[in-house]
Structure 1
Amino acid sequence: MTQAQALVAAGIRDLTDLGGVVLVFPLMLPITGLLLGLVLGGRYLGRFVLLLTLLGLGAALAIAAVVLVGGDALQYLLGGWSPPLGVGLRADGLSAVMLVTSALVMLAVALYAQRAFPITGDGSETRSSLVFWLLLLGVWGGLNTVFLGQDLFTLFVALELLTFSAVPLVALGGKPETLAAALRYLLFALLGSALYLLGAVLIYGTYGTLDIALLAERIAGADRWPPSLVAAIALMTVGLLAKTALFPLHLWLPPAHAGAPPAASAVLSALVVKASFFLVLRIWLDMMPGLLATAGVQILGAMGAGAILVGNLVALRQVRLKLLIAYSTLAQIGYLFLLFPLAAGAEALALTGGTLQVVSHACAKAAMFMAAGLIAAALGHDRIGELGGIARALPITVLAFGLAGLALLGLQPSGGYLVKTLLTSAADASGQWWWGLVMQAGGLLTAAYLFRVLGYALFGPRADEGRPPNLAIKRPGRVQELVALLLALCALLLGLLPPVAFDLTGVGRAGVDAGAAVSVAMAGAFDWGKLWGDLWPVLIVGLLVLCAVPWPGGRPAADADSVRVSSSVTGRAAAVVGLVFERVDAALRQWPVAGLSLLLLGLGLAGSLVGGA
Structure 2
Amino acid sequence: MSGTTPGGWLLVFTLALPAGGMLAAFALGGRAAERIALAALGLGVLLAGAVAARVQAAGAPLAYLVGGRAPPLGIRLQADGIAAAMLLTASVVLLAVALFGRAAHATPPGVAEARAPFAFWTFLLALSAALAAALLGADLFNLFVALEMLTFAALSLACLDGRASQFRSELRYLFFALIGSALYLLGTALLYGAYGTLDIGLLAAHARADAPTLLAAALMTAGLLARMALFPLHLWLPPAHAGAPPAASALLSGLVVKAAFVLLLRVWVWVLPPAPAGAAAPLLAGLGAAAILVGSLVALRQERLKLLVAYSTVAQIGYLFLMLPLVLAGDAEAARRAWLGGVLQAASHAFAKAAMFLSAGLIAGAVGHDRVAALCGAGRAVPMAVIAFGLAGLSLVGIPPSGGFTAKWLLLTAAIGTGQWWWAAVILGGGLLTGGYVYRVLAGSLTVPPATAPQPEPQAPGPARVALALALVSVALGLLPFAAFGLVQIGRPGALAGAGP
TM class by smaller structure: over 0.9
Partner of 1:9: none
Using the alignment, how far apart are the partners of 1:437 and 1:356 within structure 2? 20
Q: Determine which of 59, 64, 81 is the counterpart of 2:52.
A: 64
Partner of 1:506: 489
TM superposition shift of 1:50: 1.0
Q: Determine which of 264, 270, 284 is the counterpart of 2:268.
A: 284
Shift of the 238–194 alpha-carbon distance from structure 1 to 2, 3 Å rule, reads same
Amino acid at match of 1:437: A
Amino acid at match of 2:486: D
Shift of the 348–292 alpha-carbon distance from structure 1 to 2, 3 Å rule, reads farther
Amino acid at match of 1:100: L
- Residue 303 of structure 2 aligns to a residue whose secondary structure is coil
- Residue 77 of structure 2 aligns to a residue whose secondary structure is strand
Answering whether residue 297 of structure 2 is matched by residue 309 of structure 1, we say no
1:146-225 correspondence to structure 2 within 5 Å: 146-219=134-207, 222=208, 225=209
Q: Determine which of 493, 505, 528 is the counterpart of 2:476.
A: 493
Shift of the 494–37 alpha-carbon distance from structure 1 to 2, 3 Å rule, reads same
TM superposition shift of 1:251: 1.6
Partner of 1:541: none
TM score, norm. by length of structure 2: 0.96
Using the alignment, how far apart are the partners of 2:458 and 2:105 within structure 1? 16
Answering whether residue 377 of structure 2 is matched by residue 389 of structure 1, we say yes
Amino acid at match of 2:482: P
- Contact in 2 for aligned 1:501/1:515 (Cα 8 Å): no
Using the alignment, how far apart are the partners of 2:66 and 2:499 within structure 1? 35
- Contact in 2 for aligned 1:378/1:474 (Cα 8 Å): yes
Using the alignment, how far apart are the partners of 1:376 and 1:90 within structure 2? 42
- The structure number with the bigger radius of gyration is 1
Q: Determine which of 451, 456, 466 is the counterpart of 1:483.
A: 466
Q: Determine which of 259, 278, 281 is the counterpart of 1:297.
A: 281
- Residue 77 of structure 1 aligns to a residue whose secondary structure is strand
Shift of the 361–145 alpha-carbon distance from structure 1 to 2, 3 Å rule, reads same
Using the alignment, how far apart are the partners of 1:226 and 1:350 within structure 2? 28
Shift of the 124–379 alpha-carbon distance from structure 1 to 2, 3 Å rule, reads farther
1:340-385 deviations in whole A, cap 9, x for unaligned? 1111222111110000001100000000111111112222211111
Count of aligned positions:
494
Partner of 1:36: 24
Using the alignment, how far apart are the partners of 1:113 and 1:516 within structure 2? 39
Partner of 2:257: 273
Answering whether residue 87 of structure 2 is matched by residue 90 of structure 1, we say no
Amino acid at match of 2:274: G
Partner of 2:427: 439
Partner of 1:360: 348
Shift of the 47–504 alpha-carbon distance from structure 1 to 2, 3 Å rule, reads same
Shift of the 291–387 alpha-carbon distance from structure 1 to 2, 3 Å rule, reads farther
Shift of the 367–62 alpha-carbon distance from structure 1 to 2, 3 Å rule, reads same
TM superposition shift of 1:132: 1.1
TM superposition shift of 1:450: 0.7
1:258-303 deviations in whole A, cap 9, x for unaligned? 2110011111110001111111101101112415654310110010
Amino acid at match of 1:489: L
- Residue 318 of structure 1 aligns to a residue whose secondary structure is coil
Using the alignment, how far apart are the partners of 1:17 and 1:209 within structure 2? 22
1:297-336 deviations in whole A, cap 9, x for unaligned? 0110010001100111000111111111101011000000
- Residue 76 of structure 1 aligns to a residue whose secondary structure is strand
Answering whether residue 449 of structure 2 is matched by residue 466 of structure 1, we say no
Shift of the 511–215 alpha-carbon distance from structure 1 to 2, 3 Å rule, reads closer
TM superposition shift of 1:125: 2.6
TM superposition shift of 1:512: 3.4
Using the alignment, how far apart are the partners of 2:197 and 2:494 within structure 1? 27
TM superposition shift of 1:477: 2.4
Using the alignment, how far apart are the partners of 1:293 and 1:17 within structure 2? 30
1:556-593 deviations in whole A, cap 9, x for unaligned? xxxxxxxxxxxxxxxxxxxxxxxxxxxxxxxxxxxxxx
- Residue 67 of structure 2 aligns to a residue whose secondary structure is helix
- Contact in 1 for aligned 2:367/2:377 (Cα 8 Å): no
TM score, norm. by length of structure 1: 0.78
- Contact in 1 for aligned 2:269/2:277 (Cα 8 Å): no
TM superposition shift of 1:397: 1.1
Using the alignment, how far apart are the partners of 1:115 and 1:509 within structure 2? 41
TM superposition shift of 1:256: 0.6
Amino acid at match of 2:139: D
- Contact in 1 for aligned 2:6/2:62 (Cα 8 Å): no
TM superposition shift of 1:516: 6.6
Using the alignment, how far apart are the partners of 1:397 and 1:503 within structure 2? 33
- Contact in 2 for aligned 1:170/1:181 (Cα 8 Å): no
Partner of 2:241: 257
Using the alignment, how far apart are the partners of 1:375 and 1:91 within structure 2? 38
Shift of the 260–404 alpha-carbon distance from structure 1 to 2, 3 Å rule, reads same
Shift of the 455–74 alpha-carbon distance from structure 1 to 2, 3 Å rule, reads same
Amino acid at match of 2:35: R
Partner of 1:598: none
Partner of 1:578: none
Using the alignment, how far apart are the partners of 1:292 and 1:90 within structure 2? 26
- Contact in 2 for aligned 1:195/1:236 (Cα 8 Å): yes
Q: Determine which of 321, 324, 345 is the counterpart of 1:340.
A: 324
Using the alignment, how far apart are the partners of 2:457 and 2:140 within structure 1? 48
Partner of 1:526: none
Shift of the 42–366 alpha-carbon distance from structure 1 to 2, 3 Å rule, reads farther
TM superposition shift of 1:257: 1.3
TM superposition shift of 1:49: 0.8
- Contact in 2 for aligned 1:93/1:506 (Cα 8 Å): yes
TM superposition shift of 1:460: 5.9
Partner of 1:241: 225
Amino acid at match of 2:472: L
Amino acid at match of 2:123: L
CA root-mean-square deviation: 1.6
Using the alignment, how far apart are the partners of 1:84 and 1:17 within structure 2? 18
Instruction: State the percentage of identical aligned residues.
Output: 54
Amino acid at match of 1:215: L
Structure 1: state its 5+ residue gaps. Answer: 1-15, 519-613
TM superposition shift of 1:517: 5.1
Amino acid at match of 2:466: V
1:11-51 deviations in whole A, cap 9, x for unaligned? xxxxx984311111110111011111122223121122111
Partner of 2:444: 456
- Contact in 2 for aligned 1:375/1:390 (Cα 8 Å): yes
Shift of the 510–341 alpha-carbon distance from structure 1 to 2, 3 Å rule, reads closer
Structure 2: state its 5+ residue gaps. Answer: none
